[in-house]
């Protein structure tokens, strides 16, 4: 514990006080090459801390995959856009043995699933799938 205490109380403050940080804006132009080299480690540490905080607290930054980069406000982008709410009533008697209903809004055979969620699952490492309704065996 003394080792950690000496680093926090002595080593880091001594290191930071020895950095060539000028008092004026014009002082940055008077620094030499070695002065700039000595500023690289604290700059990288600060940039890493800021980036880590950004990823931790910014909701759109968490995953760098394609799905997190796109902020999609709508789920349904193509099915019966002229209606205020898309509602389908399907009589259970019309289902032969079983039917798979789409939950991803990407099906070209709406409201039935055609497997369009597969590409989305590969791109986004997601686990979307259909709702499967089957007739009870007598």
Ordered DSSP codes for 5-48: HHIIIIIHHHHHHTS---SSSGGGGG--HHHHHHHHHHHHHHHH
Q: Are 117 and 124 in contact (CB under 8 A)?
A: no
Residues with catalytic function: 85
Q: Report the distance separating Cα 11 and Cα 23, nearest Å.
A: 23
């Amino acid at each position: 514990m003394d080792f950690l205490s000496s680093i926090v109380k002595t080593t880091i403050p001594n290191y930071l006080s020895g950095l060539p940080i000028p008092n004026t804006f014009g002082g940055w132009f008077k620094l030499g090459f070695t002065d700039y080299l000595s500023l690289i480690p604290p700059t990288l540490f600060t940039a890493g801390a800021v980036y880590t905080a950004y990823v931790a607290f910014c909701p759109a930054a968490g995953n760098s995959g394609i799905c997190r980069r796109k902020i999609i406000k709508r789920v349904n982008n193509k099915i019966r856009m002229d209606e205020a709410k898309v509602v389908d009533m399907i009589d259970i008697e019309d289902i032969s043995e079983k039917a798979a209903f789409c939950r991803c809004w990407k099906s070209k055979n709406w409201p039935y699933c055609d497997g369009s969620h597969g590409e989305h699952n590969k791109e986004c490492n997601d686990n979307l799938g259909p709702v499967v309704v089957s007739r009870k065996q007598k």
